[in-house]
Chain A
């Protein structure tokens, strides 16, 4: 099955990655060769096989929901790409 340019553009929309026309074409080529390789799996009958969702196959551990790190607000905000001491800032969303 071939992945066409339209599909590549649709996926890039879903993945929130903008793509120039040229790069999209190159990517379509790459994806097609990768999927050609992946589709080897179709030779294998897996009708009666249970999917393996987790290798540990145990119930996930729960821990108490406690606050352990204190007073790290400023440190965390320091990593924000938009300069503001008090908030995370994004482009205007509501007109």
Chain B
């Protein structure tokens, strides 16, 4: 049994196609593991009985032409799943059962995958530590005192702890890449418009993207080719040629030019992060790539601009939670009182904070000073990347300015929490694809990640670079099952 859960996706698919193991065996193995791993608090909603039924059904009438034949998968609880509770980690949605399926998850089921359940995340994906979830924080499988990162913290922890062979997260400012980096896993944020936003609980619509999280780059490429699709149900979905990324994957990166942006060497960054970065540069050179010093001069302004744009869009998106048509309601003496009490009791502190920021920057008299200003800065950030990509094919940076921090360490200081996303946020503002791969451990033994940023729609190229680096890094995640 233990043998099954530690296999990566590619191995599982191969074994199932060779009829060495059944979907039921695989599904039960991951469920058994989840039953033993409740301490981690990865799941918000388990759908185990239904998963076993579906697995049996698959085994009775298997379709081996699918890319994910009978493979059980748990997903972030931000994706609407038809008939299965979807909470977004919030009290305000704690009893919401969608009547429709998100496009991204539907794409998984169309390839034969089976839903295991819904994974914990920061409330409405607002957080970098999975501590803002109404359903409690997630403990990292790396160490019990550590956060798994966020907002896709339950996803990252479940993947690293072998509760699911791959998973799906969402990334608005780093919510796939930062938890991947903290847990020694691979996470890809695709180009804006690559994966449909239909059926994903909205946070900041111009930044949100769904993406795969996996144990290795090949699995990640396979999931990306499955979930990425042009979708008329998302008006910002983009019609472009999508590859079979996993088939075209190559570790030949000879002659590729990789930019090293000097602005990512930030103040107070631990030496270990810089060393890791240098290691990455060396590995690229050894593989025949060329590194080029570049400048992204407005990098420093990305995070403040993000903390205008994202809350502004969130305040607008979250206006729909009013206690009328679905979700939680508090009683009030009249309609307005009901709205105000519902939203006060239903949203957690971080969500309220961001709604307040967003409402303020969009309020009369402040729009130009904040929101318009931030959109202009966003243009400058994008121009920086456009300029850099005249000279290079991709950009290499650390994924985060530190390794995972302790539970509770940053909860009282929102700005220090926000600073965690300093290397990931510019990518969302510019709509680019980026992947985080595990690249080493710090002195405490905690995983550290490197980020490869690509040109828009150039997922194949960053997957190839990641694939090449992965082989040379040969990272082994140190997980001692402390919770069992």
Contact = CB atoms under 8 A, between A and B. Distances in A.
Given A63-B232, A81-B329, A15 B356 contact: yes
Given A37-B415, A38-B370, A50-B379, A31 B355 contact: no
Interface string A22-35: 00000100110110
A67 interface: no
Interface in A34-72: 34, 37-41, 44, 46, 49-56, 58, 60-63, 69, 72
Given A18-B344, A38-B304, A61-B232, A8 B382 contact: no
Interface in A65-93: 69, 72, 75-76, 78-82, 88, 90-93
B375 A30 contact: no
Contact of B325 (A16, A37, A75, A80): A80
A19 interface: yes
Contact of B307 (A27, A34, A52, A79): A34
A52 B382 contact: yes
Interface residues of B, number: 72
B99 A34 contact: no
A90 B324 contact: yes
Contacts of A12: 356
Judged by DSSP, the binding face of A is loop
B24 to A, nearest CB: 30
B307 to A, nearest CB: 6
Interface stretch (B104-112, B330-338, B462-470): B330-338
B357 A14 contact: no
Contacts of B97: 75, 78-79
A60 B352 contact: no
A17 B333 contact: no
Interface residues of A, number: 50
Contacts of A16: 319, 322, 336, 339-340, 343
Contact of A51 (B324, B338, B375): B375
A11 interface: yes
B8 interface: no
B372 A51 contact: yes
A31 B315 CA distance: 15
A44 B356 contact: no
Nearest to A40: B304
B322 A8 contact: no
Contacts of B341: 18
Given A17-B340, A49-B376, A63-B232, A11 B359 contact: yes
A81 B370 contact: no
Contact of A69 (B99, B305, B322, B325): B99
A58 B192 CA distance: 12
Given A33-B415, A39-B304, A51-B376, 10 more contacts: A16-B319, A17-B343, A17-B355, A33-B413, A40-B304, A41-B305, A69-B100, A75-B97, A75-B99, A90-B324
Interface of A: 3, 7-8, 11-12, 14-19, 27, 30-31, 33-34, 37-41, 44, 46, 49-56, 58, 60-63, 69, 72, 75-76, 78-82, 88, 90-93
11 contacts: A18-B337, A27-B352, A34-B415, A38-B304, A44-B298, A50-B379, A51-B372, A51-B378, A55-B193, A79-B95, A81-B324
Of all A-B residue pairs in the complex, the 8 with the closest CB atoms, nearest first, are: A55-B431, A51-B375, A81-B329, A79-B326, A46-B376, A18-B340, A52-B379, A63-B232
